[in-house]
Chains A and B, each alone.
Chain A
């Protein structure tokens, strides 16, 4: 055996291949992983189909009573208000699922081990997943919203009405997309804490959907009503289904920007424990 002479002639391998681990490389890696799963594209297609499928027909049914639906101040912004309605009804669930799956598919399949051996800097891995989840959810939400707005505008024009894009159109569109980005990040956070697809999705639906319904039953109580108003769904509604000048009076969060701040707080509340858990727990 010639191995006895080996240690003296050891080759150096460090950084022999590639550029070494970089944050940009990790973000790209997360994108490669995300796009190579069918579940990603199912989520994207579902988000678009639900948005158009709910948004356009409901707008069609309501377009003859625009003021009754959106209030006198919202009539001009009818199109994006109704498009946001379509986008978020089931889209918020899809966004939670999408965000959760970015994390839980790694734990469910064991590929988290490969990921963390290639990139043991967990802070970077965490940040890369958050960025990819936010950007992908934002882009898909924008496409879904755009398609829904297009459908509603076509309906309105077909009926001889104005296109329903008022002064608040872009603020509302931004609100709708922002809301889905935050829900996706809540999914990411739940994914890191619970590590299981079923668990994270169930918890996400409970938080987004079930909690507001239950809280609404006790809305007579001041504390319960306050909690209801700061749930992601209610905070999101301030940005998506009411025009910026419409709300404020009597609501804990004020209006549009109060909702935005509350959603940002939800993202932080979901992601900080997730980061701590990811950093500290064994993979």
Chain B
């Protein structure tokens, strides 16, 4: 369990993290969402003691992480793709970390196998692809069989297979009773991985809720339907709970009904349906709406250098 209490970090004039409080509970994947530069990485770095909070505190299983007796068994962290020396072999990187806790060679081999790095582990890290580097970071995070797992943008640079692997791994780790905190700036990614969400912007908490709460807050379910009978269907479905918007002569956006409900209604009434799609962008929209005022770096501003990640 990770408890963040009134955590604050100031870099010069800039408040990177502003009185942030939340809890990461065991047994769940908690998604940590926010635009780039929102303070996610800084918060994670403060949890593991890399950065010193300006105010407030972060507790891991009830005490500051810096006082942990077996840190690798309390928090496994992937903070940055660059956290191994490129001139060292992956195995030497893991062996160096394992030695701090007297963790044996067998466990090192285990995490190498778990992350599928057997073929490259004796090569120098500079030869690794971004994805292999991420896997090495995850292997290091798992060395101590940690009760809490912190992954900062773990799918950055991974191929689709790697993304799916991280997603499954996060869920499996949570199912084993660990507290898992994963950051991302992509809502869609978190919707598929996380049970709970912590959304921040400009260092402040915007929302702490479940994925379905966020969905509900964003207007709930929505379905896109294509039919030559669009006008007739719109009239038939409209109700106080269902809002139907015409997107074109043959296309409707139906808010408040699931794909299944619309499909059943269509079958019962004999409507001709060309297409029926669940609309998930509403999640992304909800997220954008939430973070709209909290975006630090707008894409309209022709610069990329500000982004912290």
Contacts and interface: CB of A to CB of B under 8 A. Distances in A.
B176 interface: yes
B99 A29 contact: yes
Contacts of A3: 27-28, 174-175, 195
Contact of A117 (B25, B61, B79, B103): B79
Interface string A102-128: 000110011101111111110000000
Nearest to A9: B177
B70 interface: yes
Interface stretch (A12-20, A54-62, A79-87, A244-252): A12-20
Interface residues of B, number: 57
Contacts of B51: 282-283
Nearest to A28: B99
Interface string B219-234: 0000000000000000
A25 B144 contact: no
Given A29-B96, A114-B93, A282-B52, A6 B65 contact: no
B104 A114 contact: no
B96 A20 contact: no
A11 B71 CA distance: 17
B89 A36 contact: yes
A12 B177 CA distance: 9
A223 interface: no
B153 interface: no
B92 interface: yes
B50 interface: yes
Query: How many interface residues does chain A have, given as a range?
Result: 35 or more
B253 interface: no
Interface in A160-174: none
A221 interface: no
Given A10-B27, A113-B50, A21 B93 contact: no
Contact of A25 (B61, B69, B79, B102): B102
Interface in B59-117: 61, 65-66, 68-75, 77, 79-80, 82-89, 92-93, 95-104, 107
A12 B83 contact: no
A106 B82 CA distance: 11
Contacts of B146: 13
B7 interface: no
Contacts of A65: none
B178 interface: yes
A7 B176 CA distance: 10
A21 B100 contact: yes
Given A19-B101, A36-B88, A283-B51, A117 B71 contact: yes
B4 interface: no
B26 interface: yes
Given A7-B25, A17-B73, A117 B50 contact: yes
Interface in B218-266: none
Contacts of A18: 70, 72-73, 98, 101-104, 107, 144
A7 B26 contact: yes
Nearest to A113: B83
Contacts of B92: 32-33, 36
Nearest to B110: A17
A64 to B, nearest CB: 46
B97 to A, nearest CB: 5
A282 B45 CA distance: 9
B90 to A, nearest CB: 11
Contacts of B79: 113, 117
Nearest to B106: A17
Contacts of B73: 13-18, 20
Contacts of A15: 69-70, 73
B145 interface: yes
Interface in A67-103: none
B27 A283 contact: no
Nearest to A5: B27
Nearest to A36: B92
Contact of B100 (A16, A25, A105): A25
5 contacts: A2-B175, A6-B26, A7-B177, A13-B144, A18-B98
Given A13-B73, A114-B84, A118-B100, 9 more contacts: A3-B195, A7-B25, A14-B73, A22-B101, A33-B92, A36-B96, A109-B84, A109-B87, A117-B79
Q: Which 3 A-B pairs have the closest CB atoms?
A: A6-B27, A36-B92, A18-B101
